[in-house]
Amino acid sequence: EVQLVESGGGLVQPGGSLRLSCAASGFTFSSYWMSWVRQAPGKGLEWVANIKQDGSEKYYEGSVRGRFTISRDNAKNSLYLQMNSLRAEDTAVYYCARDQQWLGNGFGYYYGMDVWGQGTTVTVSS
Amino acid sequence: DIQMTQSPSSLSASVGDRVTITCRASQSISNYLNWYQQKPGKAPKLLIYAASSLQSGVPSKFSGSGSGTDFTLTISSLQPEDFATYYCQQTYSTLWTFGQGTKVEIK
């Protein structure tokens, strides 16, 4: 069964740090881009970051750039999100997701997040 | 960043209704547009990719169309299991963005 399982969420004080993990199984993890997506309480989805198969390319949403670091360990089939300088507005459920890709119409690939974890909750509060 | 705007933000519909949700991009994104469905307390589910391609396993009552800046998601005959929140997402730029969501409720 294709599966993603997040862990590492919890309560942290403003300015603190947290490291999220995502364990992948049931597919060849090293063949896919991977993403983190978050959802604040009662709010919509927000893409946070993604990482290329070999870790050579990483992209970040503006509000987390410089504070969050996405990484992966293909030998362990695991994705990570190191979150530093946390703020109250980072409070959310954090999902990891697999970035499926399909050949595009001459302008690169189409991407869509086709497998999601169940999410892990991060609460930033004093 | 490319801004995605969905309309309406919410709608009430009856079982059997045809429902259309609109998504507009702040600049042309060709057809690099996905649609997701999310039910309360659950992870999102990919419905449509590349604006009009149905994801494997998704029923054909869902369809997508559009290119450039204007896109639509249509549910041909709303069923009880379709009441959820729907999000569009662009993957044209390297910084992906979602619309704010459209909540489909029971009338």
Confirm if A95 and A58 have CB atoms less than 8 A apart: no
Inspect the interface and report whether the beta carbons of A44 and B101 lie closer than 8 Å: yes
Q: What percent of chain A has pLDDT over 90?
A: 94
pLDDT at B73: 98
- Per-residue HEC secondary structure of A25-55 comes to ECCCHHHCEEEEEEECCCCCEEEEEEECCCC
Are A114 and B30 within 8 A, CB to CB?
A: no
Residue B68 phi/psi, 5-degree rounding, is 85, -105
Half-sphere exposure for B56 (CA within 13 Å, toward CB): 6
Rounded average pLDDT over A85-102: 97
A112:B95 CB<8 A:
no
CA separation for the pair A55, A51 (Å, rounded): 6
Whats the size of chain B, residue-wise? 107
Q: What is the pLDDT of residues A47-81, one digit of tens each?
A: 999 999 999 999 999 999 999 999 999 999 999 99
Answer yes or no: is pLDDT of A105 > 90.
no
Q: Confidence band (pLDDT; 50, 70, 90) for B88?
A: very high
Residue A103 reports pLDDT greater than 90: no
From the CB of residue A17, how many other CB atoms can be counted at a distance below 10 Å? 12
Mean pLDDT of A93-122: 92
Whether the pLDDT of residue A107 is over 80: the answer is no
* A107 touching chain B per CB within 8 A: yes
Sorted by sequence, the CB contacts under 8 Å of residue B78 that are 6+ apart come out as B13, B14, B15, B16, B17, B18, B19, B104
Residues of A in contact with B99 (CB under 8 A): 44
Q: Does the distance separating the beta carbons of B38 and A47 come in below 8 Å?
A: no
- Percent of chain B with pLDDT strictly greater than 70: 100
Q: From the CA of B5, how many Å to the nearest CA of chain A?
A: 12
Q: What is the mean pLDDT of chain B?
A: 97
Whole-number average pLDDT of chain A = 96
Q: Work out whether strand A10-12 and strand A120-124 pair parallel, antiparallel, or are unpaired.
A: parallel
Beta strand A120-124 pairing with B53-54: unpaired
Q: Residue B9's closest chain A neighbor by CA?
A: A44
The DSSP secondary-structure symbol of A86 reads: -
pLDDT band at A104 (very low <50, low <70, confident <90, very high): confident
Q: Establish whether the linkage from the previous residue to B8 is cis, with ω within 30° of 0.
A: yes
Nearest by CB to A110, from B32, B85, B95: name it: B32
- Which residue of chain B is at minimal alpha-carbon distance from A5? B43
